[in-house]
Amino acid sequence: MSTQSVMRLTTALDELIARLEVPGEPFAETPVVIGDPLMEGWVRHRVAERSGVAMNLIFLTVDAAIDMHLRPAHKDEDWWRREAPEKDRWNPASVRGRVIDALRALRGDGVLADLESYLWPTVLSPDAVGWRELAFAGEVAAVILRLCRERPEVAAEWGLKGTGSDPAWLARVARLVETAAPDSPATLRANLLAGPPVAEPGAFEVLGLTAASATTRSLLAKLGAKVPPFEAALRSNVAAHVGREAVRLRPCYGALREVEELRAWLLHRFDLGLEPQEVLVMTPSPETYGPLVLSVFGRRGASLGRPDGDDAEGVSKQPEPSKYVLKARRLPQIPVHVTQMGNGQSNPLAEAVLELLALADERLDAPRLVSLLACDALLRRFSISADDVEGLRSLLIESGARWGLDADDRSRVDQPRIHQNTFAHALERMALGRLMPTDTLLGTDGAELGPVVAMETGDRAQARRVSQLGHLIASLRAEIGSLRAIQQATPAGWRACIDGLLKTFTDSSAAMAWLRLDLTEKLDELLPLADGVPLDRSALRRLLEAGFTLPLSGPSPNSGSVTMNPLSPHLARPFKVVALLGMNDGAFPRSSTLRQWDPFQKLTTNDGGEIDPRALDRALLCDLAAGCETLWISWTAYEMKRGEGIPPCVPVSELATALDLDLSSDHVSQDPDAERTSLDAALRHPARHPWEDRPKEGIWDAEFAQLQPTEESSKGRTAEVSASRPVGLDPELPREVSIDELYRALLSPAEYFLKNRLDVFIPDDDPAVPGRERIEPEGGLGVWKVKDEILEELRSATDGTDLSESALTERTLSRIAGRGDVLLGAAGRENVKSSAETVLALWKAWLDAALPASETAKEISAEIETPDGIVVVRGVAARYAMDETGVAVVHQLTVSEPKGKHLLRSWLVQLTAAAGSEVGGTVCRTYGVSIRKPDIIKFGPITPAAAQATLADLLSIWRLARTRPVELFEGTSAVLAMGLDSNKVVSDTARLEAEASWFERKSYGDNPGPAESESRWNVPFFRHFDPRQPLGREGPVDPDGLVGLAERVWGRLNAASKSNAAPSEAQSANVAKTGADE
């Protein structure tokens, strides 16, 4: 607010405190009229600070105070006492009820001809009030009440004559509502305006009034209030009132960055003496910035690296952190209180009521059940902890629960009566998992129980969660069934239903008593018990949704926290620091959205007595700048689609022009605490990133400060971690490695480095709980690994098991259905039948191979000498035997096409078996499927010495992959290797194919997969990697670069598989020597 407004508020507050200090009754009630409901907390706190006590202060808004002063039955000594809601004819709920009666009285009269089909659809009961009628009546009631208060002469005239409005029905509704009655706010205010003042100036004081309509100002003057003038435009001499140093402009890349910048600056100011309760954060977009402020302000200082003194084996010591890094580790949370949130956001009981009422009209699916588990009151009722929620979520996903309580519940919404994917089916799977081995199949199609596949439920904690889930679903089945049977009821009837839902699904302990009281008060407002008009169930739900979403108008408690609320012209409270977030172009000032039939649409436009809301917003910005020590303004200053900077909203630009703040120059201060107002410079130099070149002095949000390079070494460096920069070398390699680990390190080094070395797991793009059946058309069966299941059944078959194609097909179909997967009719059955046929042919080829009778699975191992010492490689060969020539034979089996990663695993098994053997050679045969027919890929014999040399070289790559990300990729490297000649020169065709493999998205029907450059494992290190750069370099090939690694792994693998012969001992030794020398 302006400086004059601050002085007026301070003076009025001093007078209030002086009245409270007059000797007399210490507990006497004192009315305090405030211009903004959220000022209550601030005034109460200041009165308590100054006088030591703030008891029995009765806070009233301006409109409420005027109405109470004008009541015919009020007494001068207690005019502020509120009437009971049932006695107040002019509260919003009572007026809405009379509007409904008026609309129904006019039905069929012709005046509502354009509205009748909308308000009263034929599907509704003639007695019940539908949602459209209820919502429209609420809007009409709000307009009539506003008309009574701001244009009382118009409302009184309409109430008396029933004519004069456009549309005509509005005046007739006003007459039926009795806006001309003696107790009407319109009549009382019109009489006051027509008569002389009723009190001397100064008899009526309003704290913090910044904006009001012309009528309200006239009424306050009649009552003796001091009405400050309203300035609706930015003043030409704004610099004299504000001052250049009071405004700080912060253009940012996005909403999250805005909040992070504000947090960093506030933490610095708190160190200089600022208190959190002296900070107000406002935004025109609370739905966007509210959650961000709560999240970012709730951060604590993150630990950088391992705790001091951690000398665990295998962990390199970090350099001594700077003083700013040490301070960042101790960063506190910033307490914040978000005001003006609806009951649905602030009261978990209201949230639970809305969710449960929605289930009566909609189907219960897994995502909705998970959202129910977010309600704290429900968790308390069913003894579910926060850790249990994630366990229940995983149970729902793994069990195949999608939607519907059972098959009957599905048929209720005209869907096939299918037991699969229902919650009953999921609970059966969980229960069977506690009684029998996992994956046990019970029942078949058409049986009373089944098909059901037992699901592993894990430890005792998961078993307890299964019980909790069963209890919750049983309660939902009972209560939702009862609720669906009620189509309409009176407000009293619906209140009884809501009470029953709260009793069943929410905690009734003393800890929830105040939340229950808050919900009861809101229900009294929305569903007055005296109203006997029956409501349709959908109307009830919509009424509560709208009522619980509306911002609460209660006080803002002064609890030592930063206050955040929406940007409103009436929020005039003095704070030392006011931060305005999201001041984007078009977001402020806000345009008013009036209905076409709203009379204020014309009154505001044609009559100068009304204040345009946009003018209020402009005046608010100037007032805020003049009434605080520092005004922080930030906005999203970069448009991602156009790739260019954008200015802030027009009032901010006007303020910057008035204060001579430059938004276009390229100058930016080297001092991070100095003012930055240059839009262009701010966009080119995003502040407070770990990789920026500027000094970090005074930056408190430094969780990743150790990653910041020096200014000299970081020129031209990209934002991601450099792939060529070691993250942390192993002082000593593990003495043993499995074939599986070596396989993962060679197949996807980036994934291996993140998971095994940095302990970082990146989830899939869509971790959401599915809410519909997993229906797959042709070609989608690979997702379910049907062939692997059929092969596993063949391996575990006992004597007497029917292994015919038809029997395997039926058992597989039952197993798929028992897990909750749904096939698309004949197409799905045909796919399973084809898979069974293919696997049976592969199994026959595997069994019919001319092998010695002694062939069996065998554990294999080899001791490999490396520069770091002996490393033991261990694994298992599926089948291992000696043939009649003394050559060891290794057999591997896969149901996929034997190429790529499957051959890589087989090759590693052959190398390990050969390196640990004393026989002259070891061969490997990999059985797989190519074009639905068995296929065999043979690796020729390799000697122990050649195998040891090759494994030593592969272990050096494994060592490198444990140290840093390496340029080795499953697709791109394999393509490059196929185009290498003997001189390690890549062909032009291979270059193009490698480029396509890296950049082009994979084609999988209508759902293309990500390109290799978009892989969630490659993006953290190789977002800007371009294979054309290393391929275009001249000179010798780097053995640890893209081409060198492709040749060392995939090149030799391709040569071995295509020529039916492994690399010679000399070739392997030369490659290993090259890598070791490097």
Q: Which of 232-236, 290-294, 825-829, 898-902 has the lowest mean pLDDT?
A: 232-236
In angstroms, the first-to-last Cα distance of the chain is: 70
Compare 538 and 799 and report the one with higher pLDDT: 538
Q: Which of 253-262, 408-417, 642-651 has the lowest mean pLDDT?
A: 642-651
Give the model's pLDDT for residue 1002: 66
Give the model's pLDDT for residue 908: 93
Mind listing the pLDDT tens digit for each residue in 1009-1036? 678 888 888 888 887 888 888 887 777 8
Is the preceding omega at residue 451 within 30 degrees of 0, hence cis?
A: yes
Q: Which of 124-133, 378-387, 778-787 has the lowest mean pLDDT?
A: 778-787
What average pLDDT score do residues 851-872 get? Answer: 81
Q: Which of 66-75, 133-142, 217-226, 686-695 has the largest mean confidence?
A: 133-142
What average pLDDT score do residues 198-204 get? Answer: 68
What average pLDDT score do residues 823-850 get? Answer: 76
Spatial neighbors of 740 by CB under 8 A, at least 6 apart, are 875
Q: Which of 303-317, 484-498, 598-612, 773-787 has the lowest mean pLDDT?
A: 303-317
Residue 299 has pLDDT above 80, yes or no: no
Compare 309 and 1038 and report the one with higher pLDDT: 1038
Compare 455 and 720 and report the one with higher pLDDT: 455
Per DSSP, the three-state class of 848 is helix
Place of tokens 């108008």: 553
Spatial neighbors of 552 by CB under 8 A, at least 6 apart, are 339, 340, 341, 342, 343, 346
CA dist 449 and 463 (Å) reads 21
Spatial neighbors of 1014 by CB under 8 A, at least 6 apart, are 1001
Residue 708 has pLDDT above 50, yes or no: no
Closest to 508 measured CA to CA, from 295, 349, 320, 653? 349
Q: Which of 206-220, 466-480, 529-543, 817-831 has the lowest mean pLDDT?
A: 817-831
Residue 967 has pLDDT above 50, yes or no: yes
What average pLDDT score do residues 425-445 get? Answer: 79
- 701-723 per-residue burial string, b: 16 or more CB within 10 A, e: under 16: bbbebeebeeeeeeeeeeeeeeb
What average pLDDT score do residues 391-396 get? Answer: 88
Mind listing the pLDDT tens digit for each residue in 225-252? 776 665 444 444 454 455 556 788 888 8
Give the model's pLDDT for residue 701: 38
Q: Which of 119-123, 866-870, 1035-1039 has the largest mean confidence?
A: 866-870
What average pLDDT score do residues 846-858 get? Answer: 66
DSSP assignment of 630-672 equals: EEEEEEE-EETTTTEE--B-HHHHHHHHHTT--SS-----SST
Closest to 698 measured CA to CA, from 1057, 395, 266? 266
At 741, the pLDDT band (50, 70, 90 cuts) reads very high
Q: Which of 62-66, 166-170, 761-765 has the lowest mean pLDDT?
A: 761-765
Residue 667 has pLDDT above 60, yes or no: no
Mind listing the pLDDT tens digit for each residue in 249-274? 888 888 988 998 899 889 888 888 88
Answer for the pair 282, 579: CB distance below 8 angstroms, yes or no: yes
At 348, the pLDDT band (50, 70, 90 cuts) reads confident
At 864, the pLDDT band (50, 70, 90 cuts) reads very high
Does residue 56 come out as left (phi exceeding 0), alpha (psi in the -120 to 50 range) or beta?
left
At 695, the pLDDT band (50, 70, 90 cuts) reads very low
Give the model's pLDDT for residue 61: 82
User: Could you tell me the strand order of the sheet in which 562-566 lies?
Assistant: 247-252, 630-636, 577-580, 279-283, 562-566, 336-338
At 1067, the pLDDT band (50, 70, 90 cuts) reads very low
Q: Which of 50-64, 310-324, 418-432, 992-1006 has the lowest mean pLDDT?
A: 310-324
Give the model's pLDDT for residue 117: 84
At 317, the pLDDT band (50, 70, 90 cuts) reads very low
Residue 302 has pLDDT above 50, yes or no: no
Place of tokens 């009165």: 47
Q: Which of 36-45, 238-247, 610-619, 627-636 has the largest mean confidence?
A: 627-636
Q: Which of 9-18, 154-163, 784-793, 1069-1078 has the largest mean confidence?
A: 154-163
What average pLDDT score do residues 763-773 get? Answer: 69
Mind listing the pLDDT tens digit for each residue in 873-893? 999 888 887 776 778 888 888
Give the model's pLDDT for residue 169: 92
Torsion angle, alpha carbons of 839, 840, 842, 848, to 10: 160
The secondary structure element, H or E, covering residue 891 is strand 888-893
At 642, the pLDDT band (50, 70, 90 cuts) reads low
Give the model's pLDDT for residue 738: 94
Mind listing the pLDDT tens digit for each residue in 896-917? 777 788 889 999 999 999 998 8
Give the model's pLDDT for residue 413: 85
What average pLDDT score do residues 78-86 get? Answer: 66
Residue 610 has pLDDT above 50, yes or no: yes
Q: Tell me, what amino acid is at 961?
A: A
Give the model's pLDDT for residue 77: 58
Compare 943 and 656 and report the one with higher pLDDT: 943
What's the burial of 114, exposed, middle or buried (CB within 10 Å: 0-12/13-18/19+)?
A: exposed
Mean pLDDT of the chain: 75
At 477, the pLDDT band (50, 70, 90 cuts) reads very high
Mind listing the pLDDT tens digit for each residue in 395-408? 888 888 899 999 88
Compare 445 and 79 and report the one with higher pLDDT: 79
